[in-house]
Structure 1
Amino acid sequence: MNIDKNTILDLLKGNGQHAEAEQAQQELPDQVDTNQHAGLLQKFGLNPADLIAKLGGGGGLGGLLGKLGG
């Protein structure tokens, strides 16, 4: 599954992981493939399977951004 880098950065920041978000900004490509970049995601404390569940299942991107914004 491809996820926009900004979505991942927002998720990290929303979790209070500002240092990880800053590092991810430098290291992640604009479109993150959860399979191809699984190692990088795990480096930032993100489980690719959890990301897919949050973004691909129950609520999609709108549901995730709603949680981050409110």
Structure 2
Amino acid sequence: MRIDRQQIIDLLKSQGKDDHADQAQSDLPDQVDPEQHADLLARFGINPTDLLGKIPGLGGFGG
């Protein structure tokens, strides 16, 4: 599953990680695959396994 880069940036900002959000804007591709880009996500303090549960509409039941 791919996740839009902006959703990850919004997540980082909501966690008060504006510096990571700025870096993610330039380092992450437009569409992020949590498995393929796990190393990049880890640099921003994001656990790829937990990512799907933290972004609305991706990890929950019923959309």
Considering only aligned residues, what root-mean-square deviation do their CA atoms show, in Å? 1.8
Hey, which bits of structure 1, 4+ residues long, moved more than 6 A? none
| Identity score, percent | 57
Runs (5+) with no aligned partner, structure 2: none
1:57 equivalent to 2:59? Answer yes
Runs (5+) with no aligned partner, structure 1: 63-70
Map of 2:20 onto structure 1:
20
Provide the aligned length of Structure 1 versus Structure 2: 61
Q: Shift in Å at residue 24 of structure 1?
A: 0.4
Higher-helix-fraction structure = 1
